[in-house]
A = this chain, B = another copy of it.
Amino acid sequence: MQTDKVIRILPLGGLGEIGKNMLLVEYDNDGLIIDSGIMFPENDMLGIDYIIPDYSYIVDRQDELTIHGILITHGHEDHIGAIGHVLSAIPAPVYATALTAGLMEIKMRQAGHADHPLHVFKAGDVLDVGPFSVETFHVCHSIPDAVGFGINTPLGLLVHSGDFKFDHTPVDGWSPDFAKLAEFSQRGVLALMADSTNADHAGWTPSEMIINEAFDSVFQQAEGRIIVATFASLISRIQQVATAALRFNRKMAIAGHSMIEYIKVATRLGYIDLPKDLVISIDQAKKLPPEQVVIMATGTQGEPTAVLGRLAWGRHRQLQIEPGDTVIMSAHPIPGNEELVHRTINKLIQRGAHVIYDPIASVHVSGHASQEELKLLHHLLRPRFFIPVHGELRHLTQHSLLAQTMGMSPENIAVVENGTEILVTSDSLIVGERVPGGYVFVDGTGVGDVGPIVMHDREILARDGFVIAQVLIDETTGDLIETPTILSRGFVFLREASGLIETAQCLIEETIAASQGKDLKTAVENALTRLFYNETKRRPMIFALVSEV
């Protein structure tokens, strides 16, 4: 096997979903990147703002490997959020559909890449990305203008589904491009990379249209204001609320900076149609009778600083929940956010709101294909090789099993994690090496400086806090100059622990008297560790600052 006659596929990203934030496709030292997104931190990644893929492997190889383009499937944060970081290291031209580009421009400007080449294409266009001819095709997802890619390589056609569902009745009327998929199949598909997010869900993901019924029923019954919370990027849902508002003679106000921004971009580019006299300001909404108002809001994940969080905790500047309000949670909790979301719902109820959420009513549907849709994708394309992507390892595994039930042989499927290369030739699929690196934490302006050591310290501090003892010793006599100062946070409630602190001070004095000047620091730290553990069964970080003066 000549290694230059091999397509290398390398998924990169966080430790959760595979190939979702970034994917490298490479042939004969020519490469293209699909997506440049961020991952949100898990609950135990303390203090981390977000996570970006570790693309140092690509950067390190820039002498030999040319990246001809960064192709974006759609405008969600986990696909575009890292573009500012990526362009600083890999200044390749960016290709995106109009809405996606509109959302990316803001990010690129903020990161100082306002003048960077950003090519806008329409689904169906063919892009020349270096030596690769890339055929784009429309898919349905929970944001408009999402696409997948057919990448022509000298060895054959690679198809990447992007995040998708097969919605036969999408809100914007723009169905998936089945014809293109069938045409790919006629030409022969070498390898398929496909969304696995819902590979463990039986059946067919319901169409966005079913939301209309649920909205109708809620709008019919609601006697007061209606507040609909959804993702700022879920443009079609906002359109559905607008349509319901028109039908039921309500005016619509928008709350939440990001949602206002998304609507602005989507309106300018024609992805949403909100009649002029439908939309009013929050202040205007407050003057109308409650039964004539619907408010669109952010905050479905229980974020305390988003609109719904502020409403739940009574901290919104302009609005407050009134008894009789109906709140529709038109989103599912992203795994890991369940607790916060449930707490938000309970708080809203506490303030008198009637809260509608799935499973109480079908006010949200997933944007990802379920098993029957995945089977249809496989049958439409009939790929020789299959690489499940976009999902955790458990989802990829299910997607692989699903392909096997349709007759694909296991050796034609490669399930890998981020950072493991897959080598595709015209007649083989091989799992390659793990490349160095993993993912990178971003905390404030620090990119990558928070690693396992800082994280481990934060865990200890979060659990039991710290104690610092300042010990000043007379350098001539070796005696304590003053009673040791004890500083502590996150360990015990100091106002009620004065006895324990005094005991610790006495113990330090005894320890110093007994240690005859030998390694005072360690002696004091050990003595305090024992004391605090015995008294509290807690293990704070303990430091002695011993100075001889």
Q: Which A residues have a C-beta under 8 Å from some C-beta of B? A: 42-44, 46-47, 200-202, 335-336, 338-339, 342-343, 345-346, 349-350, 355, 357, 359-360, 392-394, 397-398, 417, 443-446, 449-451, 453-454, 457-459, 461-466, 468, 470, 472, 481, 485, 487, 489-493, 496-497, 535-538, 541, 543, 545, 547, 549
Query: Shortest beta-carbon distance, A28 to chain B, in Å?
Result: 32
List chain B residues, Cβ under 8 A from A417.
350
Q: A43-B339, A545-B470 are in contact. Are A493 and B461 (CB under 8 A)?
A: no
Chain B residue nearest to A393 (CB atoms) is B346
How far is it, in angstroms, between the C-alpha of A463 and the C-alpha of B458 when the chains are bound? 7
Judge whether B465 and A349 touch: CB under 8 Å. no
Q: A336-B339, A339-B42, A489-B461 are in contact. Are A202 and B359 (CB under 8 A)?
A: yes
How far is it, in angstroms, between the C-alpha of A338 and the C-alpha of B526 when the chains are bound? 38
Judge whether A491 and B454 touch: CB under 8 Å. yes
List chain B residues, Cβ under 8 A from A342.
335, 392, 394
Query: Shortest beta-carbon distance, A443 to chain B, in Å?
Result: 6
List chain B residues, Cβ under 8 A from A393.
346, 349-350
12 contacts between A and B (CB under 8 A): A46-B462, A200-B360, A338-B338, A346-B394, A349-B393, A446-B537, A449-B493, A454-B465, A454-B493, A458-B463, A468-B487, A472-B547
Judge whether B457 and A465 touch: CB under 8 Å. yes
Query: Shortest beta-carbon distance, A278 to chain B, in Å?
Result: 31
Chain B residue nearest to A455 (CB atoms) is B490
Judge whether A339 and B350 touch: CB under 8 Å. no
Chain B residue nearest to A359 (CB atoms) is B200
Judge whether B335 and A336 touch: CB under 8 Å. no
Judge whether B453 and A493 touch: CB under 8 Å. yes
Chain B residue nearest to A347 (CB atoms) is B393
Q: For the complex formed by this chain, how many copies does it contain in all? A: 2
List chain B residues, Cβ under 8 A from A481.
549
Judge whether A444 and B536 touch: CB under 8 Å. yes
List chain B residues, Cβ under 8 A from A462.
46-47, 458-459, 461-462
Judge whether B446 and A536 touch: CB under 8 Å. yes
Judge whether B489 and A541 touch: CB under 8 Å. yes
List chain B residues, Cβ under 8 A from A44.
43, 339
Query: Shortest beta-carbon distance, A256 to chain B, in Å?
Result: 23
Which 8 pairs across A and B sit closest by C-beta, in order of nearness? Answer: A444-B537, A462-B462, A461-B461, A47-B463, A457-B490, A458-B490, A346-B393, A457-B489
List chain B residues, Cβ under 8 A from A457.
465, 489-490
How far is it, in angstroms, between the C-alpha of A398 and the C-alpha of B468 when the chains are bound? 50
Judge whether A468 and B465 touch: CB under 8 Å. no
Query: Shortest beta-carbon distance, A434 to chain B, in Å?
Result: 12
List chain B residues, Cβ under 8 A from A201.
359
How far is it, in angstroms, between the C-alpha of A549 and the C-alpha of B392 when the chains are bound? 59
New A-B contacts (13) at CB < 8 Å, excluding given A445-B536, A468-B468: A43-B339, A46-B463, A47-B463, A200-B359, A336-B338, A342-B392, A350-B393, A444-B536, A450-B492, A454-B465, A461-B461, A466-B466, A549-B549
Judge whether A461 and B490 touch: CB under 8 Å. yes
How far is it, in angstroms, between the C-alpha of A335 and the C-alpha of B339 when the chains are bound? 6
Interface centre among A343, A349, A462 (most CB of B within 10 A): A462
Query: Shortest beta-carbon distance, A513 to chain B, in Å?
Result: 20
Query: Shortest beta-carbon distance, A372 to chain B, in Å?
Result: 14
Query: Shortest beta-carbon distance, A214 to chain B, in Å?
Result: 14
Query: Shortest beta-carbon distance, A390 to chain B, in Å?
Result: 15
How far is it, in angstroms, between the C-alpha of A451 and the C-alpha of B491 when the chains are bound? 11
Judge whether A349 and B497 touch: CB under 8 Å. no
Q: Which of B46, B444, B547, B549 contacts A538 (CB 8 A)?
A: B444
List chain B residues, Cβ under 8 A from A338.
335-336, 338
List chain B residues, Cβ under 8 A from A535.
445
Judge whether B492 and A449 touch: CB under 8 Å. yes
Chain B residue nearest to A46 (CB atoms) is B462
How far is it, in angstroms, between the C-alpha of A170 and the C-alpha of B463 when the chains are bound? 42
Chain B residue nearest to A458 (CB atoms) is B490
How far is it, in angstroms, between the C-alpha of A287 and the C-alpha of B464 when the chains are bound? 43
Judge whether B398 and A360 touch: CB under 8 Å. yes
How far is it, in angstroms, between the C-alpha of A222 and the C-alpha of B545 when the chains are bound? 60
List chain B residues, Cβ under 8 A from A445.
535-537
How far is it, in angstroms, between the C-alpha of A485 and the C-alpha of B468 when the chains are bound? 13
List chain B residues, Cβ under 8 A from A472.
472, 547, 549
How far is it, in angstroms, between the C-alpha of A343 and the C-alpha of B547 when the chains are bound? 46
Query: Shortest beta-carbon distance, A154 to chain B, in Å?
Result: 34
Q: A461-B458, A461-B461 are in contact. Are A449 and B496 (CB under 8 A)?
A: yes
List chain B residues, Cβ under 8 A from A343.
42
Query: Shortest beta-carbon distance, A313 to chain B, in Å?
Result: 13
Query: Shortest beta-carbon distance, A20 to chain B, in Å?
Result: 14
List chain B residues, Cβ under 8 A from A485.
545, 547
How far is it, in angstroms, between the C-alpha of A446 and the C-alpha of B534 when the chains are bound? 11
How far is it, in angstroms, between the C-alpha of A443 and the C-alpha of B463 when the chains are bound? 9
Chain B residue nearest to A461 (CB atoms) is B461
Query: Shortest beta-carbon distance, A325 to chain B, in Å?
Result: 14
